[in-house]
Structure 1
Amino acid sequence: MAEPAPTLAAGPAGPADAAGPVSTAGSVGTVETQYLDLPGPVRLDCGQDLYPVRVAYETYGALSPRRDNVILVCHALSGDAHAAGFAKAPPESGTRDGFAAEDRDGVTGKALGWWDGMIGPGKAFDTDRFFVVSTNLLGGCRGTTGPSSTDPATGRPYGPDFPVITVADMVRTERAFLDVLGIERLASVAGGSLGGMQAFEWAILFPDQVDAVVAIASTHALHPQGVAWNSIARDAIMRDPAWQGGRYYDTGRAPDGGMGVARMVGHITYLSALALHDKFGRRLQFADDIRYTITEPEFAVESYLRHQADSFVRRFDANTYLRMSRALTYFDLARQYGGGSLVRALDGVRARTLLIAFSSDWLYPPSASREVADALRALGKPVESHVIEAPYGHDCFLLEEARQTPIIRQFLSKHSLGSE
């Protein structure tokens, strides 16, 4: 049985904790992640039906009487449902990457949502106007059914028996979740990186149910270099003896070493060479001169990567990482829907599209957004494309919030709400 649909017009601040709401200007306040069990199975691209499926989610703002002001925000590989505000029960470490994000979270002392700078009153996704929904993705380890969830057939974690999933599977799960909430149409689907891929999938799979797409630092297919880096990260996990074929949950040994290396690899691909140089240079971390050690970090950048690895393994499951990484590499709109042609793949899209890319992002480069924009323009589809000059690499979509905000607000202002 599915849990009853919650009351969706609770207001923008969300529930407060016992000590009262913690907020900053433009914040949605303190929020609590909720959970919903889907009433039926989700059909997967691999041919399996997955059931039961639980979805973790948060909402911000109030649903309009006509239910026409909903924005679905979709997270990237390491994100979760906590997209905005302060977590009522914060995890050991947050899901926000990047230098500026770390600095800001350290000041507050509480876990900010991974897109807090973009969601709230007066922000890019304005909760005074829109009802914003964020879910943890299918296959996740932060509340939504994934490999660490209990397999009803065995009473033990799925582990490697959890099916391989695709971005389309994630989107179908989101559609089934919104059906339970009684939300038929979306004013926009928005996200960065893997989140932008979901937005594209929404526009193709459900063209009559999406008014606008906001795809940031994303692509229609990961370039070969990105596929290669993802492969190295997955191999690091699977070559760790503690992986044990993915059946490590009851052994007391998780593949933390391999996961840490995967995180290090991933993290440096999210940053640019200039960002790493400006932040660390060749600064030594623990002494004024080298210590002639092999096993311990010498340079600040080495220490930083170890810190990233240690924080990540405390909050993320290796089997989930493998599936998210594989979903990223499988994603290819031209292959999936166009017989090799991106133009044919996008032919049925009806949503207005906003594309934002960043000059220093070599993992999801501006050229990828340009290819999507060119294909949509060739079809006569409404598309708006921007490239922001910024030095932080792929992490720009989490760091350059102030520069993205006016672009997104202007784009979304063209949406006419029936309740206004």
Structure 2
Amino acid sequence: MSGGGRRATGAWLPGDPPGRRQFAQLFTDRPLQLDLGGQLGPITLAYESWGQLNSQRSNGVLLLHGFSGDSHAAGPAEAGHPSPGWWDAMVGPGRPVDTQRFFVVCPNALGGCQGSTGPSAAAPDGRPYGSRLPALTIRDLVAAELALADQLGIARWHGVIGGSMGGMRALEWAVTAPQRVANLLLMATAAATGADQIAQHQAQIEAIRLDPLFNGGDYDTNATPPLRGLLLARGLATLGYSSREALEQQFGRQQEPAGCFAINTYLRQEGEALARRFDANSYIALSQAMNHHDIGRERGGMAAALERITARTSVVSIRSDRLFPPEQQRQISRGLRSLIGHHNLDSIGGHDGFLTEVEQLEPIVRELLG
């Protein structure tokens, strides 16, 4: 961490090792007009890339991370990247997302905390945005990514791939700019968040806000972090990401020598791991962005929005996903004109199966990208 001391955010901050990050400066001449009102600019998007863009600029593949992911889709944990790439087994030379064939780009989402403009980033007055960051939606995140594609000179992606929150962004890409997406992979996601998901997100948001060290979102980055709230929020989220079957199989009623149930230790460890690389305000901002997700809003409804999509599309469900259950992906598939396959992963891993079920995902990704 920069400064060598403890700080109240796990966000990447200027002065930290950049790792593989590159930084795009966007909306420098005019701010982005936000979906729910207000504006934001200038905007920085941190991103990582692998491979080379061909002379026709036709081999670009856009990877869009889930809620707690970032631009580090492939590669080891190293200076600047506290965790290995979130899709490392899928991205690289000869792998399904073949970096010898494709120019692969993975941006850290707007509102995130690993180098992109978000609550922990400096506002034009030099202070962190904190609670002053305007409300964002998935459409705003995609608007920033559209500007990044323009800056990179990519008029049309050969593939856009996303799971969970990344799947929301991938879907929004295909609806907002259908002419810019040739092939689309949607994993464990939804065309609109439902009441169950909104309620789960809101419970996590309130857990963070109730931490007395949160200070309304304006905590000092050099002070004690609002750790208890973030740990509780992540614990609640982890229960949604996992399946009941997997938790029972792995932990059951197992107790540790101190008498603590093993499942509780696991949830605390998951929270502590997130806190080392995430920011409490970004947790709130991105949760709220997902809550606003509805591709049919102001577009004549979901069916009309799905009709806009022209990309060859594969949809992936995970049978044990209780956060975004398979019916939500079937709803997407039923509305697509260019569906090439709906795939059901046989996994007890729950929602996170789109990150871990490599053997089942490999042929799906290879077929889609060709």
TM-score (structure 1 length as normaliser): 0.81
Structure-2 residue corresponding to 1:86:
76
Change (3 A) 1:352 1:312: same
Structure-1 residue corresponding to 2:100:
128
In 1, the alpha carbon distance for the partners of 2:252 and 2:198 equals 28
Q: Out of 49, 53, 57, which is 2:39 matched to?
A: 49
Q: Out of 286, 290, 295, which is 1:324 matched to?
A: 286
Aligned-residue RMSD, C-alpha = 1.5
In 2, the alpha carbon distance for the partners of 1:342 and 1:202 equals 15
Is 1:148 the equivalent of 2:120?
A: yes
Structure-2 residue corresponding to 1:256:
227
In 2, the alpha carbon distance for the partners of 1:191 and 1:347 equals 19
Structure-1 residue corresponding to 2:22:
34
Percent same amino acid at aligned positions?
41
In 2, the alpha carbon distance for the partners of 1:362 and 1:124 equals 27
The Cα shift of 1:251 comes to 6.7
Letter in 2 for 1:360: S
Letter in 1 for 2:54: S
Is 1:208 the equivalent of 2:208?
A: no
The Cα shift of 1:382 comes to 3.5
After superposition, residues 159-238 of structure 1 pair within 5 angstroms as: 159-238=130-209
Change (3 A) 1:250 1:386: closer
1:32–1:88 Cα contact (<8 Å) kept: no
What SS class does the counterpart of residue 115 from structure 2 fall into? coil
What SS class does the counterpart of residue 191 from structure 1 fall into? strand
Q: Which runs of 5+ in 2 are unaligned?
A: 1-18
The Cα shift of 1:349 comes to 1.3
Structure-1 residue corresponding to 2:334:
374
The Cα shift of 1:286 comes to 2.3
- Which entry has the higher C-alpha Rg, 1 or 2? 1
The Cα shift of 1:167 comes to 0.6
In 1, the alpha carbon distance for the partners of 2:298 and 2:96 equals 31
What SS class does the counterpart of residue 185 from structure 2 fall into? strand
1:373–1:383 Cα contact (<8 Å) kept: no
The Cα shift of 1:250 comes to 5.1
Higher relative contact order, chain-length normalized (CA < 8 Å, sep 6+): 2
The Cα shift of 1:312 comes to 1.4
Is 1:66 the equivalent of 2:56?
A: yes
What SS class does the counterpart of residue 349 from structure 1 fall into? coil
2:20–2:48 Cα contact (<8 Å) kept: yes
Q: Out of 80, 86, 92, which is 1:114 matched to?
A: 86
Q: Out of 281, 289, 307, which is 2:269 matched to?
A: 307
The Cα shift of 1:122 comes to 2.2
After superposition, residues 351-370 of structure 1 pair within 5 angstroms as: 351-370=311-330
1:171-209 CA-to-partner distances (Å, cap 9, x unmatched) read: 110111121111111011101100011111001111111
The Cα shift of 1:42 comes to 2.1
Q: Out of 387, 392, 397, which is 2:349 matched to?
A: 392
TM-score (structure 2 length as normaliser): 0.91
Answer with 342-351 or 355-364: which moved more.
342-351
User: How many residues in Structure 1 have an aligned counterpart in Structure 2?
Assistant: 350
The Cα shift of 1:44 comes to 1.3
1:8-30 CA-to-partner distances (Å, cap 9, x unmatched) read: xxxxxxxxxxxxxxxxxxxxxxx
In 2, the alpha carbon distance for the partners of 1:412 and 1:250 equals 42
1:189–1:214 Cα contact (<8 Å) kept: yes
